[in-house]
């Protein structure tokens, strides 16, 4: 899978994208990450990519010409603002506080794409005409405002890349938090007792069936305690079994 990042500040990505799992995935050729400096497509000698907003007001706005030129150049010859554009064009995603809230489900959707283009907004935002003509999706990583879309792009890349086959062992992500609207169960490792706190005996019993049952119930209990809103979504999606419902009812959960 390939990520193309369009940004005014490419140096911001030098650390997070070149360490740990993302580094290994790029070295293995499982994912590719390309940075594109939007100022490269500015037409004046100062490489100006922003200007004051029409109508007045604080801050600056990203200019239409260099940003549109960058998107079209990176997208390739098929890039177009036609609403009937080919379905196989890479989606152009704007990281914006106005976008739909990023979720694990969206991460799975994007991980199935061979390529995505990420546009990092900055300042007060970008010229609305580029938004209307060339942006195909807008995503927000939370209900708060950052200084720019760069950090949001890093979060999205990390969440999506780890779901690309071959980046992480599939067993490691099968039951993690939010994979099925349930939070993940607790984890323990050696020593068996730490500062007087023992590992739950079931985990050292060698009984795989009991371990699986304990882990399932811990996921249910933890979700009820920390994110009860997710349980109704899990129920609506058919994730909860009758045993799950009985256990949750014992803990005080009332299904809506």
Nearest-5° Cα angle at 63, 59 to 65? 175
Query: What is the per-residue pLDDT for 174?
Result: 62
E strands, the chain, in order: 2-7, 32-37, 50-51, 61-62, 92-101, 115-120, 137-140, 193-194, 197-198
Which pLDDT score, from 0 to 100, does residue 171 have?
67
Burial of 112 (0-12, 13-18, 19+ CB in 10 A): exposed
Question: Strands 32-37, 50-51: parallel, antiparallel or unpaired by DSSP?
Answer: unpaired
Q: How far apart are CA 121 and CA 150, in angstroms?
A: 8
pLDDT of residue 78: 55
CATH assignment of 175-250? Answer: 1.10.1270.20
Cis peptide before 191 (omega within 30 of 0): yes
The whole-model pTM stands at 0.86
The pLDDT profile of the chain, 256 residues, written as one tens digit per residue, is: 999 999 999 999 989 999 999 999 999 999 999 999 999 999 888 999 999 999 998 899 999 999 999 999 999 875 555 454 445 689 999 999 999 999 999 999 999 999 999 999 998 899 999 999 999 999 999 999 999 999 999 999 999 999 999 999 876 666 666 778 999 999 999 999 999 999 999 999 999 999 999 999 999 999 999 999 999 999 999 999 999 999 999 999 999 8
Residue 36: alpha-carbon gap to chain centroid? 20
Q: Which residues contact 97 (CB under 8 A, 6 or more apart)?
A: 140, 143, 144, 145, 146
The predicted pLDDT at position 89 comes to: 86
Q: Which CATH code for domain 2-170?
A: 3.40.1280.10
What are the residue boundaries of the structural domains of the chain, listed by start?
2-170, 175-250
Domains 2-170 and 175-250 share a fold: no
Looking at residue 82, its pLDDT comes to: 47
Measured distance CA(19)–CA(83) in Å, rounded: 38
Cα separations in angstroms, 40 against 48, 77, 143, 225, 234: 10, 18, 31, 50, 46
């Amino acid at each position: 899978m390939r990520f193309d990042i369009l940004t005014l500040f490419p140096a911001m990505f030098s650390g997070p994208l070149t360490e740990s799992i993302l580094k290994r995935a790029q070295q293995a050729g499982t994912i590719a990450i390309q940075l594109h400096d939007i100022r490269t497509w500015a037409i004046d000698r100062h490489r100006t990519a922003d200007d004051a907003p029409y109508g007045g007001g604080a801050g600056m706005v990203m200019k239409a010409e260099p940003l549109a030129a960058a998107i079209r150049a990176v997208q390739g010859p098929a890039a177009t603002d036609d609403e009937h554009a080919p379905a196989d064009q890479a989606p152009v995603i704007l990281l914006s506080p106005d976008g739909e809230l990023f979720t694990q489900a969206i991460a799975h959707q994007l991980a199935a794409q061979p390529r995505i283009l990420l546009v990092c907004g900055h300042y007060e935002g970008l010229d609305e005409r580029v938004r209307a003509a060339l942006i195909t999706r807008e995503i927000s990583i939370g209900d708060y405002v950052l200084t720019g879309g760069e950090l949001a792009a890093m979060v999205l890349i990390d969440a999506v890349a780890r779901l690309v086959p071959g980046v992480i062992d599939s067993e490691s992500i099968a039951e993690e938090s939010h994979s099925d609207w349930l939070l993940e169960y607790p984890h323990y490792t050696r020593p068996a007792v730490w500062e007087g706190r023992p590992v739950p005996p079931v985990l050292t019993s060698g009984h795989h069936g009991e371990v699986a049952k304990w882990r399932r119930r811990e996921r249910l209990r933890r979700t009820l305690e920390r994110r009860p809103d997710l349980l109704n979504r899990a129920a609506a999606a058919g994730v909860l079994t009758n045993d799950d419902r009985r256990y949750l009812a014992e803990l005080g959960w009332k299904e809506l």
